Amino acid sequence: MNTSTLRNLSVEQRIHLVEELWDSIAADQGVLALSNAQRQELDRRLDAYELDRNPGRPADDVVADIRTRL
């Protein structure tokens, strides 16, 4: 599928296509190897979590806070 063909689709159709593509990538994520830098960053984040056990905040709460500030 080329760019001009994609531009002929509606925005809704293109969004759906992106969602389908993303879902297909997520389903195959096991075939993607992590780089050394990615592995180190994940280890760093896990270590930080294990130190403070702070799970963070639900995304819905964060988005709601952002929207109240706009």
Contact assessment for residue 54 and residue 46, using Cβ atoms and an 8 Å cutoff: no
What pLDDT is stored for residue 50 in this prediction? 94
Number of domains in the chain: 1
Mean pLDDT of the chain: 92
pLDDT at 2: 83
Structural domain boundaries enclosing 41: 3-69
Low-confidence spans in the chain with pLDDT less than 50: none
**Which among 27, 17, 20 has a CA at the least distance from the CA of 9?**
17
CA distance 4 to 21: 18
Radius of gyration, alpha carbons of the chain: 19
